[in-house]
Amino acid sequence: MIFNSIKRFLFASGLLFCCIYAQAQHQIGNSRISGDFGFNGMYYIPDSIIGAEPVDSKVRGNAFLNILYSNGGFSAGARYEFYMFPLIDFDKIGYKGQGIRYFFAEYTNKFISVTAGNYYEQFGNGLTLRAYEDRQLGIDNSLLGARIKLTPYKGIYLKGIWGMERRNFDSYLDRHDFVSGSDLELSFGEMFPVIQEKGFTARVGASFVSKFEQPDQNHIFTLHPGTDSAMQAIIPSDKWPKNVATWATRMTFGYKDFRLDGEYARKINDPNISNGYIYKPGESFFLSATYARKGLGIAASFIRADNMEFRSQRSENSNSLLMVNCIPAINRQYSYQLIGDYSYASQPNSQIGAQLQVNYQIPKKSVLGGKYGTDLTFNYSRFHDIERQLVPEAIENGTMTGTTGYTSSFFKFGPNLLYQDIGLEISHRFNNKKWKWILAYNYITYNLEILQGHAGMMRGHLVASDLSYKITPKHALRLELQHLYTKDDDGSSIYGMLEYSFSPNWFVSIGDDWNYGNPLEGHKTHYYNISCAYVWNTTRIALNFGKTKEGILCVGGVCRAVPASFGAGLSVTTSF
């Protein structure tokens, strides 16, 4: 059964691939066909020590094929996905099935752009609407419907959208919810070029997004839970708001090297599972200030979010499914192996925090800078939950459900620290250009209880070094060494990885993440990994074998769980 399906899929995509190939990367007049294909498969081996459970089909894989056609202002495309036996991470989040779940046709000219089918869109910073895709995380919030973009005059941008959000491979037919919205942006610099000539940037924008959801059933909940006077209460289905609205205003102001961005959003009428079914309005505020000149960049930002989780369906709570908006996580993102599990996940219902990042280049040809300059990056970020005072009715009922929940003072930090990061990174190239070294230190505080659901705080020091050596112009070695020192959670770990690359085609690497400080005897595991990749133009084929630690994978403040696994993997991506 599994092999038949896979065979069928490979046969179909193979045929398609062959016949497009002759035509790929060419166009006839303005007409062009292009596409890309990706496969990510794994053979699983159970391992009881790391917690890699036996899986029902040992061979699993995700595959997709994108085809795009364009001719001048017209374009159309479709994506076929085959996730019948997906990797276990995707199986766990329900991303399982097959079919065309993305297709569109679009026409664009100077004044108008019309899209029918699936599309991705974002208003402003995404506080009201962000339909996007992250294939690594298994997130695809594309909207199925229609979109119109208008540019009636230089610098005036209008957008209107209507659509239903994708929910994995589920059918759209039995859905009772949709999202609609509009957005206006005025760019004064484009309207009046004299503003830009004087070095100013000025822009304002506003968006409005509404979700419609047919109330389905009464919601039964308990008053005074856990006490003798516990009793059932009900929110009747006709008390559910059919429409939930959010709106936001934003502005950008810049003068020469300085820039200020801000957005404020509100939401009303949205009792949902994540906020405990309360009727309190939500609000969010995002502010960012940057200064940049040659050799120096400073970025500071602030965010506050209160009850801003916003989904197409009020009872949906699995990770990132049916999210309409996105409250950005503004902390610095790292790709260090050892702190991957301690990446901050944005908390749309309760977070207040700030981030500061300074990039500075010690000038080239100075004593400290050397011939090519030395880059320094300093970073500080801190996030708390928001302060909350329960409303009298919630205290009286012993539950917030059905009330306006709580009140919160705008600029007050809540009692719980969620995440803090202090970091410094130095990057230097040595005079003969053969050696390059990046050295980083971070002190991270991470709230395990709120962010991952198991008790305590993680406080850890990370030292990471990344040293590259160019043996010849085409052969290079790269050595990564990291040490995480902590007494919390799974304890300290050390990581080493050696990569050899033969440009531009071959990469071979071997690495080991040793959890030597694990407090449990017998769990001081080596998570080793061997991999080999071959790259030819836009095609990449990679093989790897090794162990993956149970943890979380975060891309841009959105995270999902990664189950422990052991086995051999094959990944192929290509575009044509």
Partner 1 sequence: MKKNFIIIFCMILSINVFAQESKDKHLAKLPAVEIQDLNGNAFNTADIQNDGKPVIVSLWATWCKPCIAELLAIADEYEDWVEETGVKLYAISIDDAKTSARVAPFVKGKNWEYTVLLDVNSDFKRAMNVNDVPFMCILNGDGEIVWQHTSYAPGSEEEVYEIIKSLVKK
| Residue among 276 and 328 whose Cβ is closer to partner 1 | 328
Q: Does 22 bind partner 1 (CB under 8 A)?
A: yes
The string of DSSP codes covering 225-236 is: TTSTT-EEEEE-
**What torsion do the CA atoms of 368, 443, 559, 447 make, to the nearest 10 degrees?**
-160
Is 373 among the residues that bind partner 1 (CB under 8 A)?
yes
Phi, psi of 188 (to 5 degrees): -65, -30
- Among 2, 6, 10, 20, contact with partner 1 (rule: CB under 8 A): 20
Asked if residue 465 binds partner 1 (CB under 8 A), the reply is no
**CB 498 to partner 1: min, Å:** 14
CB of 26 or CB of 412, closer to partner 1: 26
Residue 441 or 516: the one with the smaller Cβ distance to partner 1 is: 441
Q: Rule CB under 8 A: is residue 291 a binding residue for partner 1?
A: yes
Say whether residue 25 binds partner 1 (CB under 8 A): yes
Of 502-531, binders to partner 1 (CB under 8 A) are: 502-507
Question: Does 296 participate in binding partner 1 (rule CB under 8 A)?
Answer: yes
Give one DSSP letter per residue of 113-128, joined into a string.
EEEEEEE-EE-TTSSS
The length of the chain, given as a count of residues:
576
Asked if 535 and 561 count as a contact pair (C-beta separation under 8 A), the reply is no
Provide, rounded to whole angstroms, the least separation between the CB of residue 254 and partner 1.
7
67 scored as a contact of partner 1 (CB under 8 A): yes
Determine the interface stretch with partner 1 among 195-203, 311-319, 393-401, 410-418 (rule: CB under 8 A): 195-203
Tell me: does residue 35 bind partner 1 (CB under 8 A): yes
Which residues, at least 6 apart from 45, have a Cβ–Cβ distance to it below 8 Å?
Answer: 52, 58, 566, 567
100 in contact with partner 1 (CB under 8 A): yes
Q: Residue 309's closest CA among 342, 352, 270?
A: 270
Is there binding between residue 7 and partner 1 (CB under 8 A)? Answer: no
In the range 419-438, which residues lie near partner 1 by CB under 8 A? 427, 429, 433, 436
Show contacts with partner 1 in window 225-284 (CB under 8 A).
252, 254, 257, 259, 261
Nearer to partner 1, 160 or 254 (CB): 254
Q: Is 377 in the site for partner 1 (CB under 8 A)?
A: yes
Asked whether position 78 contacts partner 1 by CB under 8 A, the answer is yes
Beta-sheet pairing, 506-514 with 526-536: antiparallel
Asked whether position 329 contacts partner 1 by CB under 8 A, the answer is yes
Structure letter (DSSP) for residue 568:
E
Q: Is residue 31 close enough to count as binding partner 1 by CB under 8 A?
A: yes
- Residue from 540, 541, 545, 550 touching partner 1 (CB under 8 A): that is 540
8 A C-beta contact, residue 202 and residue 189: yes
> Any residues with CB less than 8 A from the CB of 72 and at least 6 apart, and which?
30
333 touches partner 1 by CB under 8 A: yes
- Residue 19 within binding range of partner 1, rule CB under 8 A: yes
Q: Does 395 bind partner 1 (CB under 8 A)?
A: no
Q: Is 23 in the site for partner 1 (CB under 8 A)?
A: yes
For 382-396, the DSSP string reads: EEEEEP-EE-HHHHH
**Cα atoms found within 13 Å of the Cα of residue 186, Cβ hemisphere only:** 6
The span from the CA of 524 to the CA of 154, in Å, is 62
Q: Decide if residue 301 touches partner 1 (CB under 8 A).
A: yes
Q: How many Å apart are CA 213 and CA 270, to the nearest integer? A: 11
Q: Which of residues 106-145 bind partner 1 (CB under 8 A)?
A: 108, 113, 120-122, 124-126, 130, 132-133, 135
DSSP state of 238: G
The residue from 198, 256, 293, 487 that contacts partner 1 (CB under 8 A) is 293
- For residue 91, give Cα distances in angstroms to 2, 168, 268, 316, 345: 15, 11, 34, 17, 21
Q: How far is the CB of 301 from partner 1 (least distance, A)?
A: 7
CB of 280 to partner 1, least distance (A): 25
Binder to partner 1 among 478, 479, 485, 552 (CB under 8 A)? 478
Could you tell me which residues come within 8 angstroms of residue 223 by beta carbon, excluding any fewer than 6 positions away? 229, 230, 231, 232, 233, 397, 398, 399
CB under 8 Å to 22, separation ≥6 — which residues?
none
Q: Which of 62, 118, 275, 288 binds partner 1 (CB under 8 A)?
A: 288
Which of 370, 398, 517, 556 is close enough to bind partner 1 by CB under 8 A? 556
